[in-house]
Structure 1
């Protein structure tokens, strides 16, 4: 383990966070907030930057690191960034409890959107901005941002990209990793700017537009009103955010193909077809049931409006809401729970297991049925017009086993406090899959404030594990990883 290089890289990341903390400081000055707000961001920025400087003061002689260092860097960076990012909330008094502040900040960076706040409208503008700004930072990944702006060796940074970019596989857009990271961030920021402008045109206030665009871009879901998007009661705003969430839940490699005029390659994506198919099917089923069985909606168009927004919000693991789906029929709720586990496409800002994994698992199941029915028949499995190799199927199956095991463990830990299975199950599903709102006591109109400190820490870890897809955190706590390399 090249501990010096790990510490050096973490120091650089803390310096980046220190610079980013200046942005909410400027917001607090623009809105002429009490001195404690600007002071909190300034003090923590200086503290974080100073610690980062101490780690980077001496450049390591041996700069080479491998996969295990990459996993450790990714894991520790998300823990450290969440910790230092939570300190301004504690210092300015908006979230006095450090555990609560850590939960909120981890939820922001992991783009989960789960909150311990019962009245978000009491927060200062700077706190609201920082809270949602963490979505923008964490959506594409702060380490991807670091690779875009910091000079690194290509042979090393690929290990970081593999550990942080969500999905079963990682593919470079161009030959150099740093160039790939820059291209990703250029597209990411351009799309975010477009959503901001469209929201302003639709009638949303400028500050609100920034907050909700950050949430849509990072597929996070933090808002600034207690009723999420519902208080705006604006169909155009809902449409813009719905399409925005859909866009950010899509593999960004496809956008690069479109920008380079490889339209055929982009639109023939099998994962994209499944992604849109899941969403379309869920909207049709939920709209039909809400129209036929719910007394809440007066017509099919109103049911379509809320099912469209809710399905996309849950599928992309964003967590915005226009309606309390806690009150929906059980069949519709079950569809939403299924979508929680599916999540967005690989290479998107969405969470969940990812569409590609789900599709390959479905195809593997059907292949096994065919093999059992026709033992002498050679059955091959294809995805994206390419044969899926045995090691990929094994890797996905292993991921599923670990995923289920960790999920059950988290559920058991949460069940010590909660007797309500629906609330406990959906709380784990909503945090582990980086969604935010669940069902029961953690529904769209509720918060995670009632959990005790132990469970808040457990769910915070669940959010980080879900964002990093489990293995980087497991590797971090493996004793063998810290042994010296021979």
Structure 2
């Protein structure tokens, strides 16, 4: 909306936009250097492929410019990080979301500063939305860290489950489940027609959690449980039922 109104300066002040731009610049630069130095691709081709795949991973779009079979481990690791971070709040992109990561990093920086300097000063965590500068409440920061912890716990659990029920490596398992949970679509080649049914079931669960949002799914399951419990506790006959006997 700001872009349609021509408010470019206001867009550039938004915390999530600035964080995304900085993250992409760093990721693209590192990926290009890794592909250039270790795969010995031409510099222009390395930059082009790095930019395309970095944007694809962070936006959880799912397109790839080449097979990852020959990619160095460092490049694969960077793509994993981008997939886990994901897109913007309120978007259909998967991942933890940019704003949560940004707020968590700010909170950790302030906490570390307090611990190192032994300062009792409380510095509020602020961020800029399209509506203007906002102070993050303690409840918001707690919910951010809670969601990140829950997301990472599911990510680790799904990865270990795939390792247990298949012969895939830890890297392949982590990459493909992170892709499923983040609803990205990128793959190391572990997911395909030949994939075991158990692995596909784990990835399906990850896709549902990632697309519908983890807390929404948990809330739905809890509400369904409450409805079933209430119906089971409901008496079969009304209290004022009169027996003919």
TM-score of the alignment, normalized to the shorter chain, above 0.5: yes
The change in CA–CA distance for 1:303 and 1:370 in structure 2 (over 3 A counts) is same
| 1:480 paired to 2:226 | yes
The answer for unaligned runs of 5 or more in structure 2 is 232-245
What is aligned with 1:260?
Answer: 5
Residue 166 of structure 2 contacts residue 196 of structure 2 at CA under 8 Å; is this kept in 1? no
Q: Structure 1 pair 261/290, CA: closer, same or farther in 2 (3 Å)? A: closer
Question: CA distance change for structure 1 residues 290 and 453 in 2, over 3 Å: closer, same or farther?
Answer: closer
Change (3 A) 1:264 1:481: farther
Unpaired runs of at least 5, structure 1: 1-255
Q: What root-mean-square deviation, in Å, do the aligned CA atoms of Structure 1 and Structure 2 show?
A: 2.0
State the Cα distance separating 1:457 from its structure 2 match.
2.4
Show structure 1 runs of 4+ deviating over 4 A. Answer: 481-485
Distance in 1, Cα, partners of 2:227 & 2:92: 29
Q: Which of 344, 348, 356 lines up with 2:91 in the alignment?
A: 348
How far, CA to CA, are the matches of 1:289 and 1:423 in structure 2? 20
In the aligned structure 2, how far is the partner of 1:289 from the partner of 1:413?
31
TM (norm. structure 2) is 0.83
SS of residue in 2 equivalent to 1:382: strand
TM-score for both structures, normalised by structure 1: 0.44
Match of 1:470 in 2: 214
CA distance in 1, matches of 2:37, 2:199: 39
1:79-228 aligned at under 5 Å gives the runs none
Is residue 92–residue 211 contact of structure 2 (8 Å, CA) maintained in 1? no
Indicate which of 257, 273, 289 corresponds to 2:18: 273
Q: Name the structure with the higher helix share.
A: 1
Q: Is structure 2 residue 104 aligned with structure 1 residue 361?
A: yes
Are residues 330 and 452 of structure 1, via their aligned partners in 2, closer, same or farther at CA, if it must alter by over 3 Å? Answer: closer
Q: Number of paired residues?
A: 223
CA contact (8 A) 1:275 1:355 kept: yes
- Are 2:178 and 1:429 aligned? yes
The 2-side partners of 1:396 and 1:342 are apart by 13
Report the counterpart of residue 234 of structure 2 in structure 1.
none
Question: Higher Cα Rg: structure 1 or 2?
Answer: 2
Matched, 1:405 2:148: no
Contact 1:370 1:379 in 2 (8 A): no
What aligned pairs does 1:6-25 form with structure 2 within 5 A after superposition? none
